[in-house]
């Protein structure tokens, strides 16, 4: 058993077609394509040459498989999963169904992703509600615990909803979903979570965390193609109004000869929120293969794998005075850091490009994001380039 586990935790670069010469430390930007997903996409494209090969069951089977596979990742029923095209679409589907009374407010954290911020801002404007933005105390070196406590303390009887990323997209800081969800439940606030940067690599349990809606594009840690997303909608939304009226979301859609016998009933639970043309004949088979693989990885421990891999980098940077959040708020697969004074950000950016290292550089900070396609060579190379940059400045 031990040997099998050990075997599984080795890097799995062979599952990808990544160029051998590059060091890709930017899965938070976009995941590389799995070979299995690429093959499914090519097969689907070839099938599209001849539409007669697309049967009525192809309109439903693959999407149903995808709903099952995602349900396993986030602990919900397949019928509670909707196929969406983007995070912003998912937020709108949820927010359009939330109302509030006079004097209520919504809560978001500072510097959350723009799709999140603008969605909740519009909801506040439409509903004449205040928007409370909970800021991190940037004068502190570590602010995970204080920020989380501030979020929990700010939720009260006047809170209509909280919209929050599961981890911060810029630095990987973990939000305490369990306690935030519990506080929302206790005051009757709706809890919408953006799972983009953690679902697939950190535990997600929509029931345990009292989440009302969980929104996830698939092109990062779910290894799906761009332009497909998945959402969980809990019981509050099961009788809501979807953004659009797709014929595919009616209970009689399977009966092709009878669809103009207009069926007033939507598919149960989250089925009404599926985006129009749900089956997406090219992308859906790709997503299905990706989710099969992500489900396999759930038995592995991606966090431990990542933690092992980044150990030398963390200790190298700590020696240069960089501080990291303690483990309760630190994500091993995605973390940001302020560069030490002696490392010039502009020069580092140039050196990273020269050395084929891909990661996100924003101002004086960098964001490193890794998965099982990364090896210790990638990390060693990054350390070397930081060291080189440091020396070339002094």
Ligand X SMILES: Cc1ncc(COP(=O)(O)O)c(C=O)c1O
Contact residues for ligand X, defined by CB under 6 A: 86-88, 113, 115, 165, 169, 194, 196-197, 217
Q: How far is the CB of 196 from ligand X (least distance, A)?
A: 4
Dig out the tokens for 230 from the structure.
């998945």
- Rounded Cα distance between 243 and 144, Å, is 36
Query: CA–CA distance from 368 to each of 28, 67, 331 (Å)?
Result: 8, 30, 11
Q: How far is the CB of 110 from ligand X (least distance, A)?
A: 13
Cβ nearer to ligand X, comparing 27 with 313: 27
Cβ nearer to ligand X, comparing 93 with 351: 93
- Three-state DSSP class for residue 212: coil
- Rounded Cα distance between 78 and 82, Å, is 9
Q: How far is the CB of 363 from ligand X (least distance, A)?
A: 17
Q: How far is the CB of 28 from ligand X (least distance, A)?
A: 7
Cβ nearer to ligand X, comparing 169 with 273: 169
Q: How far is the CB of 322 from ligand X (least distance, A)?
A: 23
Query: CA–CA distance from 209 to each of 80, 169, 312, 327 (Å)?
Result: 16, 19, 33, 19
Q: How far is the CB of 244 from ligand X (least distance, A)?
A: 17
Cβ nearer to ligand X, comparing 165 with 351: 165
Q: Report DSSP state, residue 143.
A: -
H or E segment to which residue 229 belongs: strand 229-233
CB-CB contact of 175 with 45 (8 Å):
no
- Three-state DSSP class for residue 122: helix
Cβ nearer to ligand X, comparing 275 with 385: 275
- Three-state DSSP class for residue 292: helix
Q: How far is the CB of 90 from ligand X (least distance, A)?
A: 8
Cβ nearer to ligand X, comparing 159 with 369: 369
Q: How far is the CB of 158 from ligand X (least distance, A)?
A: 26
Cβ nearer to ligand X, comparing 62 with 194: 194
Q: How far is the CB of 206 from ligand X (least distance, A)?
A: 17
Dig out the tokens for 239 from the structure.
């009788």
Partner residues linked to 334 by β-bridges: 369
Cβ nearer to ligand X, comparing 217 with 285: 217
Strands 360-362 and 130-134: unpaired
Cβ nearer to ligand X, comparing 196 with 274: 196
- Three-state DSSP class for residue 354: helix
- Three-state DSSP class for residue 216: strand
Residue 333 backbone phi and psi in degrees, to 5: -85, -15
Dig out the tokens for 291 from the structure.
């989710």
Q: At what angle do helices 376-393 and 345-354 cross, to 10 degrees?
A: 130
């Amino acid at each position: 058993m031990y040997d099998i586990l050990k075997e599984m935790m080795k890097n799995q670069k062979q599952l990808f077609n990544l160029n051998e010469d590059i060091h890709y430390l930017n899965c938070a930007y976009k995941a590389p394509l799995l070979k299995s997903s690429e093959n499914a996409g090519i097969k689907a494209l070839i099938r599209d040459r001849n539409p007669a090969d697309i049967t009525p069951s192809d309109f439903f089977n693959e999407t149903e498989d995808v709903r099952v596979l995602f349900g396993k990742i986030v602990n919900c029923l397949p019928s509670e999963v909707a196929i969406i095209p983007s995070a912003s679409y998912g937020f709108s589907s949820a927010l359009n169904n939330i109302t509030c009374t006079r004097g209520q407010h919504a809560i978001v954290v500072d510097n959350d992703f723009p799709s999140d911020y603008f969605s909740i801002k519009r909801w506040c404007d439409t509903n004449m509600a205040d928007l409370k933005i909970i800021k991190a105390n940037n004068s502190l070196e570590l602010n995970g615990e204080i920020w989380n406590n501030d979020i929990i303390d700010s939720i009260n009887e006047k809170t209509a909803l909280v919209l929050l990323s599961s981890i911060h997209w810029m630095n990987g800081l973990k939000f305490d979903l369990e306690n935030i969800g519990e506080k929302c439940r206790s005051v009757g606030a709706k809890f919408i979570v953006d799972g983009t940067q953690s679902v697939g690599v950190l535990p997600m349990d929509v029931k345990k965390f009292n989440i009302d809606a969980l929104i996830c594009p698939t092109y990062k840690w779910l290894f799906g193609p761009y332009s497909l997303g998945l959402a969980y909608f809990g019981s509050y939304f099961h009788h809501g109004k979807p953004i659009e009226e797709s014929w595919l979301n009616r209970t009689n859609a399977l009966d092709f000869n009878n669809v103009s016998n207009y069926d007033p009933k939507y598919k149960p639970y989250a089925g009404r929120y599926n985006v129009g043309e749900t089956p997406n004949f090219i992308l859906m088979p790709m997503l299905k293969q990706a989710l099969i693989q992500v489900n396999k990885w759930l038995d592995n421990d991606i966090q431990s794998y990542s933690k092992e891999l980044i150990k030398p980098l963390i200790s190298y940077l700590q020696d240069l005075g960089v501080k990291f959040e303690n483990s309760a708020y630190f994500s091993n697969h995605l973390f940001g850091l302020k560069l030490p004074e002696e490392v010039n950000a502009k020069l580092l950016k140039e050196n990273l490009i020269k050395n084929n290292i891909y990661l996100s550089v924003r101002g004086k900070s960098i964001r490193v994001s890794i998965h099982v396609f990364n090896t210790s060579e990638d990390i060693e190379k990054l350390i070397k380039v930081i060291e080189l940059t440091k020396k070339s400045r002094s």
